Chains A and B, each alone.
Chain A
Amino acid sequence: MTDQTLSQRPQLTEKESTGVIDWSSGPRRVITLYLPLALFVIVLLFPFYWMAITAIKPNAELLDFKNNNPFWVKSPTLDNINKLLFQTDYPRWLWTTMMVAVVATALSLFASVLAAYAIQRLKFRGSNYVGLAIYLAYLVPPSILFIPMATLIFQLGLFDSPMALILTYPTFLIPFCTWLLIGYFKSIPYELEECAMIDGATRLQTLWQITLPLAMPGLISAGIFAFTLSWNEFIYALAFIQSAEKKTVPVAVLTQLVEGDVYHWGSLMAGALLGSIPVAILYSFFVDYYVASLTGAVKE
């Protein structure tokens, strides 16, 4: 490594001058870089390929590996998807999940924007401690909360109602969004707000007309992330919802599509695939925001 670097040191390539150091090349690069990378990508994506291929396989091919190559499908069928959409409550589950996720996200964003603004901009004594408390709230996992929460939901008469989910999801969405938005507000120069206030704007006008438009990317990050988190939520939806038609997609696929000992793998996989598509679409449009919120949340 050392002599290689020494011999190449004098010629500064374009890559080096842009700050990216890249001295290894050729077959060595293929083995140490592209091969492991390709393996990673294959392993990470294979379950989705397998899900998709199973969803469109007819049962005869699905359960016979000897005569059919399991990695491919000879006569693709939409039977499984058809069955899922027209013979089960699947569209309803999708609708419930969508509604719960949208309302919970909107509620959490509203609460988080105000809280983050108060903590980051309206500095008050102890605002750092409030920020720390919210950070700690993010560290309380749903697994230790769901049992007492179930009793609380029962007392409030919300059991088996989507309201139960809409009100409990913010417990993990608000800490996350607030934390993300505090970081975002920090990056907006306070002078802009001061300017507006010197011009006579009230605090709320400043928030609405100056800070929020500037914080839009942060809001989008927090929003899509909150939506994804609520879409993926499982344990609360499993514990608080009982009737089959009110379940959310992740819970319903697992509990309603498995009947007894006979697993209808085709429709199970179709259910899993269709349930992943809304988040996947959202994700494909907002990849950069996801990465920003993921890394932003970790860095803050």
Chain B
Amino acid sequence: MKETRLGEFEEVILLLVGILEEDAYAFKISDEFEAQTGRSVSIGAVHSTLNRLSEKGFLNSEMGASSPERGGRRKRIYTITALGHRVLTEAKDFRVSLWNQFPGLANG
């Protein structure tokens, strides 16, 4: 899993892209990140991660619609690819399997 490994931040961003659906562009994602985690993050940091995830093939992107508060500029909307989905699932399964082996909390 060397190239497809996800960092914690990457995983959260990937999930947020999934949650936000057609609103998944850098500003909204960073806004949502701050709302959900209470941690502040710069748009640049989010953008850089989105860019990296796209390079790894977990995200696709295309230019979307423009809006007046953006000065008429378009936004880049990100969507999760099939590979991205699989990596997210693997990450989750891996955690679950670890939780199941954790004696203090294993239910059984």
Partners in one complex: no
B→A interface (CB under 8 Å): none
